[in-house]
Amino acid sequence: MLRETFRVKLKELEQDLLQMGEMIIRSINRSIKALKNLDTGEAKKIISDDLLINKKRWDTEEKCITMIATQQPVATELRELIAILNITTELERMGDHAKGIAKIVIMHGDKPLVKPLIDIPRMAEKATNMLKRSLEAFINRDVKTAKAICKEDNELDALYEQIYRELFTFMIEDPRTITRATYLIWVSHNLERIADRVTNICERIVFLVTGTMEEINVSKY
């Protein structure tokens, strides 16, 4: 009966992670749309809504701690709860990165973007896709997919480097663009960090299944 209760509560925690992931993906997409439209009003709403993500993290962590205290988890069961605690933290940090992009939108104000947004939305789409698949891999205990997702982080690194070089060229050619170009570099860096945190989630999946922690793909940044 104790183990059956544990499995039921674990499934509830897994659903909490999926819900939190959906909240993060929405926040990222909203922040990029706000940037495209230079919508400071929407950016302020994103910042405010980050409190809901924080609350979801604390609620999920409290459930985990209660299960550790009452369900006496051992071996794989304990690794499952530790993995969920770590993944929840990574998700909350991703929410902070999305909030960071919203703050940049506010700092940017209504001045025109230095260039049309092409690669930044590509970064956001790739990062959110990696996040969604990483959580699915966690639910399915899919080590192969988790390791493959880690390797995809190289694509985000390459896009970040491309954006950085292009915007740096803008700064050199026209110093008046320095501030606005810097803001876009900050946005791309936030997206690159989100992908890094997805990698951390995937490493936790490997730890959960194998019992071994390993750095699968070390970012250059």
* pLDDT tens track for 53-91: 999 999 999 999 998 888 777 778 888 999 999 999 999
Q: What is the mean pLDDT of residues 8-27?
A: 95
Rounded Cα distance between 208 and 203, Å, is: 9
Residue 219 pLDDT more than 70? no
Tell me the pLDDT tens digit for each residue of 138-185: 999 999 999 999 999 999 999 999 999 999 999 999 999 999 999 999
199, 127 contact by CB (below 8 A): no
Please give the share of the chain, as a percent, with pLDDT higher than 70.
97
DSSP state, residue 101? H
DSSP summary character for residue 112: P
User: Cα–Cα–Cα angle for 145, 148, 149, nearest 5°?
Assistant: 90
Tokens standing for 31? 């922040």
Residue 218 has pLDDT above 60, yes or no: no
For the cut 80, the answer to whether the pLDDT of residue 102 exceeds it is: yes
Q: Which pLDDT does position 76 carry in this prediction?
A: 82
| Distance from the first to the final alpha carbon of the chain | 48
Compute the half-sphere exposure of residue 198: CA atoms within 13 Å on the CB side of its CA: 34
**Contact call for residues 123 and 153 (beta carbons, < 8 A):** no
CA-based diameter of the chain, in Å?
70
Q: Which domains does the chain have, with CATH numbers?
A: 2-210 (1.20.58.220)
